[in-house]
Amino acid sequence: MDDLITWLVKYAWSHKIGLIMTHLLSPNTPSQSDGDNKLAIINMEWKNHNEIPFSFAHELGHILCGHSGINKYSIATVGIQEENEANSAAISILLEYCRQNDIKVNNSVSFCEQFGIPFKFEYLVALKLKEII
Protein backbone atom coordinates (compact mmCIF):
# COMPACT_ATOMS: atom_id res chain seq x y z
CA MET A 1 0.00 0.00 0.00
CA ASP A 2 2.93 2.37 0.63
CA ASP A 3 3.85 2.43 -3.07
CA LEU A 4 0.28 3.27 -4.00
CA ILE A 5 0.02 6.06 -1.40
CA THR A 6 3.32 7.51 -2.63
CA TRP A 7 2.03 7.36 -6.21
CA LEU A 8 -1.24 9.09 -5.19
CA VAL A 9 0.75 11.87 -3.48
CA LYS A 10 2.76 12.43 -6.66
CA TYR A 11 -0.43 12.27 -8.73
CA ALA A 12 -2.02 14.96 -6.54
CA TRP A 13 1.02 17.21 -6.76
CA SER A 14 1.22 16.78 -10.54
CA HIS A 15 -2.38 18.02 -10.71
CA LYS A 16 -1.62 20.95 -8.37
CA ILE A 17 -3.72 19.53 -5.54
CA GLY A 18 -2.60 20.29 -2.00
CA LEU A 19 -2.56 17.53 0.58
CA ILE A 20 -2.81 17.12 4.30
CA MET A 21 -2.21 13.52 5.30
CA THR A 22 -2.85 13.09 8.99
CA HIS A 23 -2.71 10.45 11.69
CA LEU A 24 -4.34 12.83 14.20
CA LEU A 25 -8.00 12.31 13.31
CA SER A 26 -10.40 9.82 14.81
CA PRO A 27 -10.82 6.55 12.87
CA ASN A 28 -14.44 7.66 12.35
CA THR A 29 -13.55 10.98 10.69
CA PRO A 30 -13.74 10.64 6.91
CA SER A 31 -11.21 12.07 4.49
CA GLN A 32 -12.45 15.19 2.75
CA SER A 33 -11.69 17.66 0.03
CA ASP A 34 -12.04 21.39 -0.38
CA GLY A 35 -12.69 21.96 -4.05
CA ASP A 36 -12.47 25.73 -3.79
CA ASN A 37 -8.90 25.52 -2.48
CA LYS A 38 -7.87 22.33 -4.31
CA LEU A 39 -6.97 20.64 -1.03
CA ALA A 40 -7.50 17.03 0.06
CA ILE A 41 -7.31 16.00 3.71
CA ILE A 42 -6.61 12.29 4.03
CA ASN A 43 -7.28 10.49 7.31
CA MET A 44 -4.54 7.87 7.46
CA GLU A 45 -6.24 6.38 10.54
CA TRP A 46 -9.57 5.66 8.79
CA LYS A 47 -11.39 2.77 10.48
CA ASN A 48 -11.44 0.71 7.28
CA HIS A 49 -7.72 0.90 6.66
CA ASN A 50 -7.89 -0.97 3.34
CA GLU A 51 -10.22 1.78 1.99
CA ILE A 52 -7.61 4.52 2.40
CA PRO A 53 -6.32 4.34 -1.20
CA PHE A 54 -9.86 4.53 -2.60
CA SER A 55 -10.88 7.34 -0.25
CA PHE A 56 -7.69 9.20 -1.19
CA ALA A 57 -8.41 8.80 -4.91
CA HIS A 58 -12.08 9.68 -4.27
CA GLU A 59 -11.15 13.03 -2.72
CA LEU A 60 -8.78 13.75 -5.59
CA GLY A 61 -11.67 12.88 -7.89
CA HIS A 62 -13.90 15.54 -6.35
CA ILE A 63 -11.25 18.17 -7.03
CA LEU A 64 -10.46 16.94 -10.54
CA CYS A 65 -14.18 16.94 -11.37
CA GLY A 66 -14.39 20.59 -10.29
CA HIS A 67 -16.69 20.02 -7.33
CA SER A 68 -16.78 23.07 -5.11
CA GLY A 69 -17.06 23.32 -1.36
CA ILE A 70 -16.31 20.63 1.20
CA ASN A 71 -16.88 17.00 0.27
CA LYS A 72 -16.50 14.13 2.72
CA TYR A 73 -15.78 10.50 1.91
CA SER A 74 -18.77 8.26 2.55
CA ILE A 75 -19.75 4.91 1.14
CA ALA A 76 -23.36 5.61 2.16
CA THR A 77 -23.91 8.17 -0.60
CA VAL A 78 -25.01 6.18 -3.62
CA GLY A 79 -26.93 7.87 -6.40
CA ILE A 80 -25.72 11.41 -5.73
CA GLN A 81 -24.23 12.74 -8.97
CA GLU A 82 -21.12 14.39 -7.48
CA GLU A 83 -20.35 11.28 -5.41
CA ASN A 84 -20.77 9.02 -8.44
CA GLU A 85 -18.47 11.30 -10.43
CA ALA A 86 -15.85 11.24 -7.65
CA ASN A 87 -16.10 7.44 -7.38
CA SER A 88 -15.72 7.07 -11.14
CA ALA A 89 -12.74 9.43 -11.16
CA ALA A 90 -11.17 7.50 -8.26
CA ILE A 91 -11.49 4.24 -10.16
CA SER A 92 -9.90 5.87 -13.22
CA ILE A 93 -7.02 7.13 -11.07
CA LEU A 94 -6.45 3.65 -9.62
CA LEU A 95 -6.62 2.10 -13.09
CA GLU A 96 -3.96 4.60 -14.19
CA TYR A 97 -1.79 3.42 -11.30
CA CYS A 98 -2.24 -0.14 -12.57
CA ARG A 99 -1.36 0.87 -16.13
CA GLN A 100 1.77 2.75 -15.08
CA ASN A 101 2.92 -0.09 -12.84
CA ASP A 102 2.07 -2.95 -15.21
CA ILE A 103 -0.51 -4.40 -12.82
CA LYS A 104 -2.96 -6.63 -14.64
CA VAL A 105 -6.62 -6.10 -13.83
CA ASN A 106 -8.44 -9.41 -14.18
CA ASN A 107 -11.94 -8.46 -13.08
CA SER A 108 -13.94 -5.90 -11.16
CA VAL A 109 -14.26 -7.97 -7.98
CA SER A 110 -10.53 -8.57 -7.59
CA PHE A 111 -9.86 -4.89 -8.42
CA CYS A 112 -12.24 -3.85 -5.61
CA GLU A 113 -10.52 -6.22 -3.20
CA GLN A 114 -7.04 -5.07 -4.19
CA PHE A 115 -7.76 -1.34 -3.85
CA GLY A 116 -10.21 -1.26 -0.94
CA ILE A 117 -13.19 -0.25 -3.05
CA PRO A 118 -16.45 -1.07 -1.27
CA PHE A 119 -18.27 -3.79 -3.21
CA LYS A 120 -21.35 -1.62 -3.59
CA PHE A 121 -19.27 0.26 -6.20
CA GLU A 122 -18.20 -2.85 -8.10
CA TYR A 123 -20.67 -1.96 -10.87
CA LEU A 124 -18.72 1.29 -11.47
CA VAL A 125 -15.48 -0.68 -11.75
CA ALA A 126 -17.14 -3.05 -14.23
CA LEU A 127 -18.29 -0.06 -16.32
CA LYS A 128 -14.79 1.47 -16.29
CA LEU A 129 -13.23 -1.84 -17.30
CA LYS A 130 -15.63 -2.08 -20.26
CA GLU A 131 -14.46 1.39 -21.37
CA ILE A 132 -10.83 0.33 -21.55
CA ILE A 133 -11.28 -3.07 -23.16
pLDDT tens across the length of the chain (133 residues): 799 999 999 999 999 999 999 999 999 999 999 999 999 999 999 999 999 999 999 999 999 999 999 888 876 665 588 888 999 999 999 999 999 999 999 899 999 999 999 999 999 999 999 887 6
Say how far apart CA 78 and CA 99 lie, in whole Å: 27
CA dihedral 62, 39, 69, 123 (to 10 degrees): 20
Is residue 41 within 8 Å of 64, Cβ to Cβ? no
Domain hosting 34: range is 2-132
Domain total of the chain: 1
Instruction: Look up the pTM and report it.
Output: 0.93
Nearest C-alpha neighbor of 56 from the set 98, 103, 6, 101 = 6
Characterize 78-110 residue by residue with b for buried, 16 or more Cβ atoms within 10 angstroms of its Cβ, and e for exposed: eeeebbebbbbbbbbbbbebeeeeeeebeebee
